[in-house]
Amino acid sequence: MKRVEIEFADSNIMHGWESLDEIDSLADATAIGYLKFEDDEQITIVMAKSEMGSVFERFSIPKAATKSIKELRLR
């Protein structure tokens, strides 16, 4: 599996009262992991993989929220 870095727009929430002037838009986020699945609607990465074929911590991001996908090379 390729190791990738994905930049995406994420939901943003604030609990409690706040001024209308302080309201932000979406949060910019970055995730790094191993590319497990990609289609026209989503991209799924996993955080770790074992030699036995198991994966740990699956994370799926909507393609519409994706800003960039960059392959990371291992040294």
Q: What is the pLDDT of residues 2-20, one digit of tens each?
A: 999 999 999 888 788 888 8
- Pick from 38, 54, 36: nearest CA to 46: 36
Query: Which residue is associated with the tokens 């970055």?
Result: 30
The answer to whether the pTM exceeds 0.85 is no
Beta strands (DSSP E) in the chain are 3-10, 27-38, 42-49, 55-62, 66-72
CA 2 → CA 6, 7, 30, 33, 67, distances in Å? 12, 16, 16, 8, 18
How does pLDDT run across 33-69, given as a tens digit for each residue? 999 999 999 999 999 999 998 999 999 999 999 999 9
The answer to whether residues 27 and 11 touch, using CB atoms and an 8 Å cutoff, is yes
| Main-chain dihedrals φ then ψ at residue 71, nearest 5 degrees | -75, 135
